[in-house]
Amino acid sequence: MKRKGWIIPLVILILLLGGFFLYTGIYYHASPSAEQALVSDAAVSVSKTDYGWFFDGPSEKDALIFYPGGKVEETAYAPFLRLLAEKGIDVCLVEMPFRLAIFGKNKAGEILSSYEYDRWFIGGHSLGGAMAAVYASEHDEFAGTVLCAAYPTDPLPKDDLEIIVYGSEDGVLNLEKVEKGRAYATDHAVQYVIPGGNHAQFGDYGIQSGDGEALISASDQQALAVDFILKTIHENE
């Protein structure tokens, strides 16, 4: 009896799909402290949305669309983004398909039409930052990009603000590619290396494989990043 020609391709497809779901099913979970940052208070209203989460602070003018890092539960960034909202820029945290921003690069488009702000920024952490930069390179709606432990791989609009922030102990970020990314920098690019910070501590999801050991706490790293980001944004109004 002749073997059906479709059996082997079907088996290969099943194996590939199984491997993909196994790969994406293992990810970094948000810590309990991150979950607590999703509770609204007098300073910041936090709400679940169709695209993810909205951190609504006192700002009426500026907002940031934030893409999470690869294979990281998006709520792990709640403490960091809540602090940004409290200090002066509202934040839209995007939940990505399979927790990989490469599958949701264009999600910012849905958000831009849902709110009214004078200035929009886009950014993210690690893979999320890289995908945010790709989206920014293809659209002109933004005043700037905010890249946490990330770098652009395509030319960004020259008139935009570009903020790159990473930790001195980051063991995951490829610094050679950060340097190469300078070729795509805007005319208003700034960079800040957080003393003692590492890769994972922009979020609250524990230790990341391959990362360096941080010399400061996650809350301190996030506070330093927030201060630098907002100071730079306000100086470029």
Q: Is residue 144 part of a domain?
A: yes
How far CA 123 is from CA of 42, 55, 150, 234, in Å, comes to 26, 15, 9, 17
Q: Which domain holds residue 91?
A: 31-235
What is the helix (H) or strand (E) element at residue 64, kind and residue range?
strand 62-67
| Number of compact structural domains in the chain | 1
Compute the mean pLDDT over every residue in the chain, rounded to the nearest whole number: 93
Q: Is residue 210 part of a domain?
A: yes
Q: Tens digits of per-residue pLDDT, 73-92?
A: 999 999 999 999 999 999 99
Q: Is residue 172 part of a domain?
A: yes
Q: Is residue 18 part of a domain?
A: no
Query: Which DSSP string do the residues of 89-133 spell out, in sequence order?
Result: -EEEEEPPGGG-GGG-GGGHHHHHTT---SEEEEEEETHHHHHHH
Q: Tens digits of per-residue pLDDT, 162-174?
A: 999 999 999 999 9
pTM for the full predicted model: 0.91
> Whole-angstrom distance between the N-terminal and C-terminal Cα of the chain?
75
pLDDT of residue 9: 72
pLDDT of residue 237: 82
Q: Is residue 222 part of a domain?
A: yes
Question: Residue 195 belongs to a domain with what CATH number?
Answer: 3.40.50.1820
Sorting pLDDT into bands at 50, 70 and 90, what band is 1?
very low
